[in-house]
């Protein structure tokens, strides 16, 4: 492959899917900088209309987009189709959010004065997207940013650039000015150049905690630039005092292994009442054994596809072995069913008696199990992490959920539901290493515009009653 070209391959087959010249951050930022002011000056109604046209373009191209997402990420067609539907729905959700959270309003003020609250766009915002949801997650930044009047330079993950390019083409086809939504194709070098570019006014990031923390350090000396970090999680699902162990097992599988475990909200740790451990593991083992793992277009449709590439599969296999060498007891071994392809079967390991624990986000189908004898110990185990994105309790007792909700450290706390599947109509974010207190989804409007408060009067009337000598 030429040094100036980026290739995308299908994880399931290894076939080359897409190739494109590597871009230049200086060029893309300069184009966006020259374009954003005219876009910001357009009436809000015009921007809304343009973004609704974008939703219609995606709707018209939904089948092609679904196929591309499935091929490039390896996820099943049913899941890729859901992602496209989420991209479409984001527009109306963002319009409502903009009006509710960053709209114009009057504020009570003394006589002859009015206070006005309005919002202004930042200018040029960089968006760095991940590979697990290469359309939905960056789109969750891009749509609210454009709606607020910003221009965007978007660098998709180097592992899923074709999906990012398709998304940008849809914006352009809808009549969003080409200068206002720019595609930067490239790898880590181009990402670093964009993030450190002096002419961006902020960065909206979705990805790993390691990269997010590095960006946080980089932006620490630049308080004038907005930084929104949406990072990962070491998320717990707690199963306690529930009679329906089959349903509990389904919720655990959905939490831990949907998207082959490649979700920031995926359950990484199962914390279970010692009394339920054996029967729950039996149900879980049977259910995992029934999972269909295959390529996106297989019939019947698989539950999960491969992880993103062979390097990731190798790293996850090594991580599972490392957990075992630390004293973990494998309950279901992770296997590589197809040689030289990144398909993995779910791995489950009991870490209760391990000599040490690792507080990392293992981004794939690995589930660690911890047995506890008291609910208080279960909550303490769930909170024993630097992350704090998502947590779920499976229990028939409302009292336990009240206790769980009050004491768990997470931005998403669910009851008898999976840890994943968060709604775009609600804020999305966590605490600790999961973010920097700038939740996305419904609250993305908050970081795409800044408030301007104006004290206004139609006439200049002023007097000083204190501190003056007699005339």
User: For the segment 443-453, what is each residue's pLDDT rounded down to a tens digit?
Assistant: 999 999 999 99
What gap in Å lies between CA 456 and CA 298, rounded to an integer? 64
> Which residue in the list 10, 72, 79, 264 is annotated as catalytic?
264
CATH 3.40.309.10 describes domain 235-415:
yes
**Predicted local confidence at residue 461, as pLDDT:** 82
Q: Are strands 181-183 and 151-155 parallel, antiparallel or unpaired?
A: parallel
Whether 28 is a known active-site residue: answer: no
Q: Where in the chain is the domain with CATH 3.40.605.10?
A: 5-231+435-456
Q: Give the chain as a 3 state SS string.
A: CCCCEEEEECCCCCCEEEEEECCCHHHHHHHHHHHHHHHHHCCHHHHHHHHHHHHHHHHHCHHHHHHHHHHHHCCCHHHHHHHHHHHHHHHHHHHHHHHHHHCCEEECCCCCCEEEEEEEECCEEEEECCCCCCCHHHHHHHHHHHHHCCEEEEECCCCCHHHHHHHHHHHHHCCCCHHHEEECCCCHHHHHHHHCCCCCCEEEEECCHHHHHHHHHHHCCCCCCEEEEECCCCEEEEECCCCCHHHHHHHHHHHHHHHHHCCCCCEEEEEEEHHHHHHHHHHHHHHHHHCCECCCCCCCCCCECCCCCHHHHHHHHHHHHHHHHCCCEEEECCCCCCCCCCCCCCEEEECCCCCCCCCCCCCCCEEEEEEECCHHHHHHHHCCCCCCCEEEEECCCHHHHHHHHHHCCCCEEEECCCCCCCCCCCEECCCHHHECCCCEEHHHHHHHEEEEEEEECCCCCCCCCCCCCCC
Q: pTM score, two decimals?
A: 0.96
Instruction: Delimit the CATH 3.40.309.10 region(s) of the chain.
Output: 235-415
CA distance 135 to 463: 58
Annotation says 264 is catalytic: yes
**Catalytic one among 28, 79, 158, 230?**
230
Distances in whole angstroms, Cα of residue 244 to Cα of each of 66, 247, 250, 373: 35, 6, 10, 19
What is the CATH number that goes with domain 5-231+435-456?
3.40.605.10
Cβ 20 vs Cβ 200: under 8 Å: no
Q: What is residue 2's predicted lDDT score, i.e. its pLDDT?
A: 54
Q: pLDDT tens-digit profile of 118-132?
A: 999 999 999 999 999
* Residue 158 token pair: 């180097």
Distance CA 62, CA 412 (A): 30
Residues in the chain predicted with pLDDT less than 70, given as ranges, are 1-3, 111
């Amino acid at each position: 492959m030429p040094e100036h070209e980026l290739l995308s391959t299908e994880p399931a087959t290894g076939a080359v899917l897409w190739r494109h010249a590597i871009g230049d951050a200086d060029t893309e930022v300069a184009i966006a900088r020259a374009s954003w002011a005219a876009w910001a000056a357009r009436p809000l109604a015009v921007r809304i209309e343009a973004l609704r046209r974008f939703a219609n373009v995606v709707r018209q191209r939904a089948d092609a987009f679904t196929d591309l997402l499935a091929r490039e990420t390896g996820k099943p067609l049913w899941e890729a189709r859901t992602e496209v539907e989420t991209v479409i729905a984001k527009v109306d959700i963002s319009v409502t959010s903009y009006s509710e959270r960053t709209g114009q309003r009057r504020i009570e003020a003394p006589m002859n004065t009015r206070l006005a609250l309005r919002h202004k766009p930042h200018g040029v915002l960089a968006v760095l997207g991940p590979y697990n949801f290469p359309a939905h997650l960056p789109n969750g930044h891009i749509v609210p940013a454009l709606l607020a009047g910003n221009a965007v330079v978007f660098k998709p993950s180097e592992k899923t650039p074709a999906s990012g390019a398709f998304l940008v083409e849809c914006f352009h086809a809808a009549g969003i000015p080409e200068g206002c939504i720019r595609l930067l194709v490239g790898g880590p070098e181009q990402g670093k150049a964009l993030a450190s570019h002096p002419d961006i006014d902020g960065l909206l990031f979705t990805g790993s905690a390691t990269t997010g923390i590095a960006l946080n350090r980089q932006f620490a000396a630049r308080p004038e630039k907005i930084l929104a970090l949406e990072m990962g999680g070491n998320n717990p699902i707690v199963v306690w005092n529930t009679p329906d162990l089959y349903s509990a097992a389904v919720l655990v599988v959905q939490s831990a292994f949907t998207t082959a475990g490649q979700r920031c909200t995926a359950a990484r740790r199962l914390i279970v009442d010692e009394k339920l451990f054996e029967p729950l593991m039996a149900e879980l083992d049977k259910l995992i054994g029934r999972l269909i793992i295959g390529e996106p277009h297989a019939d019947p449709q698989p539950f999960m596809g491969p992880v993103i590439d062979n390097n990731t599969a190798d790293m996850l296999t090594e991580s599972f072995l490392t957990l075992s060498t630390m004293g973990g007891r494998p309950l279901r071994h992770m296997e590589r069913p197809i040689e030289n392809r990144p398909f993995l079967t779910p791995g489950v390991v009991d870490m209760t008696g391990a000599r040490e624990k690792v507080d990392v986000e293992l981004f794939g189908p690995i589930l660690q199990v911890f047995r506890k004898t008291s609910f208080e110990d279960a909550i303490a185990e769930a909170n024993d992490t630097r992350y704090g994105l998502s947590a779920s309790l499976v229990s028939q007792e409302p009292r336990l959920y009240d206790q769980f909700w009050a004491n768990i450290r997470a931005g998403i706390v669910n009851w008898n539901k999976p840890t994943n599947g968060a709604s775009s109509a609600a804020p999305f974010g966590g605490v600790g290493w999961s973010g920097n207190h700038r939740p996305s989804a419904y609250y993305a409007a908050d970081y795409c515009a800044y408030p301007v408060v104006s004290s206004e009067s139609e006439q200049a009337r002023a007097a000083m009653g204190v501190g003056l000598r007699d005339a």
